[in-house]
Structure 1
Amino acid sequence: MADFFEEFSRRVSDVASDITKKTGDTLEIQKIKSNVRTLKRANERDLADIGRMVYEKFQSGEVSDMDYVTLCEEIEKREEEIEKQEEEIVKIQGEI
């Protein structure tokens, strides 16, 4: 009977050890994934800033590269359309 309890105790101890290791591994993986997400968000923010700077230079006439000019002109068109649609919203709200 003592052998049974010793074996049972050893198995419980082994399972607890495995669970502890897996929990530690899971936490470490989540920490790494969180760091990766943080780095990706920082890159997205920097890319947006670069784009904003190029667009501002385009608006002041400082950009001549046609790849940039074409993209900036498309942005300008969408900005104008956004403005028209926002005016339409104001008009509709005024009628209500």
Structure 2
Amino acid sequence: MSDFFSELGKKFTETADIVGKKTTEILDTEKFKSQIRTLERANERDYIDIGKKIYEKFRENEIQDMDCVELCEAIEKREESIADIQKEIAKIKGE
């Protein structure tokens, strides 16, 4: 009977070690995934800032790259559409 409890104790210890290792792996993995998400969000903010700076330079006629010019022109057209829609909203509200 003592062999049974001895073996049972060993199994519990082994299982606890495995669970502990898996828990550590999961926590470490999630920590790294969180760091990746933080870095990706920082990149997204920088992409937006880069885009804004390029658009500002476009408005000042300082951009010559046609890819950038085409994107900026598309933004400009959407801004005009937004302004038109806002005027329609103002008319509906009687402003």
TM over 0.5: yes
Aligned residue runs from structure 1 range 70-85, under 5 A: 70-85=70-85
Aligned residue runs from structure 1 range 8-23, under 5 A: 8-23=8-23
Aligned residue runs from structure 1 range 1-96, under 5 A: 1-94=1-94
**Equivalent residue pairs, number:** 95
After superposition, the CA RMSD in angstroms is 1.5
Give unpaired runs (5+ residues) of structure 2: none
Look up the equivalent residue of 1:60 and give its one-letter code.
Answer: E
Shift of 1:43: 1.1
Q: Deviations over 1:52-92 (max 9, x none)?
A: 10000011111122221111111000111112223333333
Structure 1 Cα separation of the partners of residues 15 and 42 of structure 2: 41
Structure 1 Cα separation of the partners of residues 92 and 23 of structure 2: 56
Give unpaired runs (5+ residues) of structure 1: none
Q: Deviations over 1:29-72 (max 9, x none)?
A: 00010111111111111111111100000111111222211111
Percent sequence identity is: 53
Shift of 1:94: 4.3
